[in-house]
Structure 1
Amino acid sequence: MDKFFQPQAPRQSKAQKQAADSQLQPWVEKYRPKTIDDVTSQEHTVAVLQKSLLSTNLPHMLFYGPPGNGKTSTILALARQLFGPDNFRTRVLELNASDERGISIVREKIKDFARQTPRAQAVSSDGKTYPCPPYKIIILDEADSMTQDAQAALRRIMETYARITRFCLVCNYVTRIIEPLASRCSKFRFKPLDPGSTSSRLSHIATCEHVDASPDVISALINTSQGDLRRSITYLQSASRLSSSTVPPTPITARDIQEIAGVVPDVVINDFVATLGVEGTNDMDIDPSPGSGSKSNFDAIRKKVKEVVREGYSASQLLSQLHDLVILHPTITARQKARCALVFAEADKALCDGADEELWILEVALRIHKALS
């Protein structure tokens, strides 16, 4: 009989469940802005939306800008402040148009939700008062992935049900939204986050999660993510997991961030360009003066290329970082940079066509060395 009466595990309280869910939650979701005031570096957009929040009269909206700058987070925070936690699920429909982008979704799912009359305002369970205006919000994320027919079908729905439904289109490329649809919306451009705002946000998350992130690590996160805050937070969480997987935990370094991001470490890049004869780097392996030891130069460059390829670094990533270093180099002349840019362009085209990576890295390296000689 004992096997039928096994002792049950103690039930977790609601607070314990929330704490456990918080530990398992991705940091991108955990630290997503909860209110409009939490959104940084978008002063103009936040100011306009705060006034709309006071009047509770929202137009159709079009949010556009680079990825990872808070477009979806802003409209979700606005919707929560408008409707509160109880009415949020019934008043807000969020669709990712990159998955559901056909005309059938517009005619069925979106139209069915748009035509429903919102229910009367209910008392909020958290004791707070929310404006809860008499309309719903439909959020179409990645709207630039919608087909032309789907966008055209959306025009009539936006006009027919404008009294009880507001639309918010979120996209990266505003030029992919058809003009009749864009003209029905108030446009809000989300500019790239400045390094100061990104650094303060990452430092705040690191402090909350008890992660020791030095200024070099924060700088590496900003550089590798290229202004995408969402990506930099993900890199920080991955680095934290790797650091805590050892006993005792190892400190996070800038090279760890670069490895996680899939970029070529700065040490490798600097060593590589030194072999090509770029001035301003340490420990040059060759003499960049014209006509001196061309055979030894070729052997040194080929050896260095083989070392880089053996490490498994991506050719496109290597050439991208090499391009940035050469084009922004202060001592290389404009004519030399122009020659190098042509080499990078040819290599990019060849790699897109499926050419051999090692051969093209060698080709680029030799021609850059020749251009700088």
Structure 2
Amino acid sequence: MELNSSDERGINVIREKVKKFAQFSVIATRSDGAYCPSFKLIILDECDSMTKAAQAALRRTMERESKTTRFCLICNYISRIIDPITSRCAKFRFKPLKDNIIVQRLQTICDTENVQHEPGAITELVKCTEGDMRKAVTFLQSVARFRTNTVITAIDVQEITGIIPENVIENLYQVCHSSSYEKLATTVK
């Protein structure tokens, strides 16, 4: 069973869906005779957006059904998960994806969806998403909608993502070191 907890985050979902699924019995073999594991797996994505009451109900279900059910909780912010749950879980932190993996995926999406882009656009997307594939794909979708029927540029990516171009930052840095309030005021305006 898989649920996206950002969509279904309340206590009723835990009581009605998760608890009921966890209570189903497991059969050791399938109808075709193949082996079946002796446990069920419940995957809760974005569980850090679940309410505290829902997390408390989930904790009780995890305790009661631990012999027949395994839980995979996926979150962005472990600090938003109540301690009684985190203490019962093995924690795995995933490193950001390497740039070349994100470039390949974005290129595949652009080719499949016929999205025209300059090479610098993909580079800019990769740079501003810091290894987060979901963020890279979301930004690509946003830029593609923003620039329909035109070639996507690095400047388009900067506008959509809100990234300040490096040359602007470098210029501001130089002006700050010049010790001239007038130059700084003009540059900031």
TM-score w.r.t. the length of structure 1 is: 0.42
Alignment partner of 1:277: what SS? helix
Q: Which residue of 2 aligns with 1:192?
A: 96
- Structure 2 vs 1, CA of residues 148 and 303 (structure 1 numbering), >3 Å: closer, same or farther? closer
Alignment partner of 2:141: what SS? helix
Please report how far the alpha carbon of residue 271 of structure 1 lies from its aligned counterpart in structure 2 after TM superposition.
8.3
Q: In structure 1, how many angstroms separate the alpha carbons of the residues matched to 2:56 and 2:98?
A: 36
**1:203, 1:213 within 8 Å by CA — same for their partners in 2?**
no
Q: In structure 1, how many angstroms separate the alpha carbons of the residues matched to 2:70 and 2:79?
A: 22
Please, which runs of 5 or more residues in structure 1 have no aligned partner? 1-91, 124-128, 280-287, 306-373
The question of 1:114 aligning with 2:60 is answered no
Please report how far the alpha carbon of residue 143 of structure 1 lies from its aligned counterpart in structure 2 after TM superposition.
1.8
Q: Which residue of 2 aligns with 1:98?
A: 6
- Structure 2 vs 1, CA of residues 242 and 174 (structure 1 numbering), >3 Å: closer, same or farther? closer
**2:125, 2:157 within 8 Å by CA — same for their partners in 1?**
yes
Summarize the alignment of residues 1-373 of structure 1 with structure 2, pairs less than 5 Å apart: 92=1, 94-118=2-26, 121=30, 132-243=36-147, 245-246=148-149, 250-266=150-166, 269-270=168-169, 273=172, 277-278=175-176, 288=178, 297=182, 301-302=185-186, 305=189
Please report how far the alpha carbon of residue 217 of structure 1 lies from its aligned counterpart in structure 2 after TM superposition.
1.4
Q: Which residue of 2 aligns with 1:284?
A: none
State the aligned residue count. 188
Please report how far the alpha carbon of residue 195 of structure 1 lies from its aligned counterpart in structure 2 after TM superposition.
2.0
**2:118, 2:151 within 8 Å by CA — same for their partners in 1?**
no
- Structure 2 vs 1, CA of residues 242 and 132 (structure 1 numbering), >3 Å: closer, same or farther? farther
Q: Which residue of 2 aligns with 1:59?
A: none
Deviation per residue, 1:79-123 (Å, 9 max, x gap): xxxxxxxxxxxxx2x333334434343333321221122577356
Please report how far the alpha carbon of residue 150 of structure 1 lies from its aligned counterpart in structure 2 after TM superposition.
3.1
**2:110, 2:116 within 8 Å by CA — same for their partners in 1?**
yes
- Structure 2 vs 1, CA of residues 132 and 203 (structure 1 numbering), >3 Å: closer, same or farther? farther
Q: CA RMSD in A?
A: 3.4
**1:139, 1:169 within 8 Å by CA — same for their partners in 2?**
yes
Alignment partner of 2:74: what SS? strand
Alignment partner of 2:58: what SS? helix
Amino acid across the alignment from 2:175 = G
Q: In structure 1, how many angstroms separate the alpha carbons of the residues matched to 2:133 and 2:127?
A: 11
Amino acid across the alignment from 1:259 = E
Q: In structure 1, how many angstroms separate the alpha carbons of the residues matched to 2:60 and 2:35?
A: 28
Please, which runs of 5 or more residues in structure 2 have no aligned partner? none
- Structure 2 vs 1, CA of residues 153 and 238 (structure 1 numbering), >3 Å: closer, same or farther? closer
TM-score w.r.t. the length of structure 2 is: 0.75
Amino acid across the alignment from 1:121 = R
- Structure 2 vs 1, CA of residues 130 and 211 (structure 1 numbering), >3 Å: closer, same or farther? farther
- Structure 2 vs 1, CA of residues 98 and 237 (structure 1 numbering), >3 Å: closer, same or farther? closer
- Structure 2 vs 1, CA of residues 304 and 105 (structure 1 numbering), >3 Å: closer, same or farther? closer
**1:272, 1:304 within 8 Å by CA — same for their partners in 2?**
no
Q: In structure 1, how many angstroms separate the alpha carbons of the residues matched to 2:7 and 2:145?
A: 30
Deviation per residue, 1:149-208 (Å, 9 max, x gap): 433332332232234322111111223333332233332221122223222322333334
